Amino acid sequence: MTETQRLPLLGQAFPEISAQTTQGPLTLPRDSAGKWLVLFSHPADFTPVCTTEFVAFQKRMDDFRALNAMLVGLSIDQVFSHIKWLEWIREKLGVAIEFPVIADDRGQIAEQLGMLHPGKGSNTVRAVFLVDPQGILRLMLYYPQEVGRNMDEILRALKALQTSDAHACAVPAGWPDNELIGRRVIVPPAADVECARQRLTEHEGYDWWFCHRDI
């Protein structure tokens, strides 16, 4: 992987990108400041899997808004292609896409964010970046071109990050429907021996290193 393709790292400031979109010029994460940014790439316009993904994202727009999230798409297509494809989705499928779609027709943003998959031509992989209201990259998901994403998992991950931030906790697998502790969250690790000794007197758990609580 070359330096220009180096992936941004979790916990670092998301690199600034400026681009033309279907709703006008956009600079991120500046234009998403104060909101969570959900930036996702798709391989190409007028393709079946991408079409199903756009419909699925749009069907959950109210859920993303309720979580104070801004949804933005991206692919290496020109803006007129995006516009025509969105028109097709509205006319043929009855779904009006409300979120902006970046036209990365030169592929510079895709290269900067490591969205290009060797051996797959110039199409982007199915990447998802979750960026917090302070512009910090918090989560990345990458899917190959052949596999469509699960938007409910993206929403779940966004809710989990917000819950972790708000309650200073960790969240278990499958939260909020975990097989062991259900909707409860995990208490942060003990910082010293005395804290470890007290942990089970203060919280429920399987051991001092595995305690959980309600929120």
Q: pLDDT tens for residues 35-44?
A: 999 999 999 9
Does the 168-215 domain belong in CATH 3.80.10.10?
no
Q: What is the residue-wise DSSP string for 102-149?
A: EE-TT-HHHHHTT-B-TTSTT-B-EEEEEE-TTSBEEEEEEE-TTS--
- Dist. CA 208–CA 185, nearest whole Å: 15
Annotated binding-site positions: 126
- Split at pLDDT 50, 70, 90, the class of 193 is very high
Please list the residue range(s) of the chain that carry CATH number 3.30.1020.10.
168-215
Give mean pLDDT, residues 147-172: 98
Please list the residue range(s) of the chain that carry CATH number 3.40.30.10.
3-149
> Do residues 17 and 129 lie in contact, with contact meaning Cβ atoms separated by under 8 Å?
no
- Dist. CA 85–CA 47, nearest whole Å: 9
Could you check whether the bond before residue 29 is cis, i.e. omega within 30 degrees of 0?
Answer: yes
> Do residues 50 and 42 lie in contact, with contact meaning Cβ atoms separated by under 8 Å?
yes
> Do residues 211 and 200 lie in contact, with contact meaning Cβ atoms separated by under 8 Å?
yes
The active-site residue out of 50, 169, 195, 211 is 50
User: Active-site residue 50, yes or no?
Assistant: yes
Give mean pLDDT, residues 39-68: 97
CATH of span 3-149: 3.40.30.10
> Do residues 125 and 75 lie in contact, with contact meaning Cβ atoms separated by under 8 Å?
no
The pTM of the whole model exceeds 0.75: yes
Annotated binding-site positions for substrate: 126
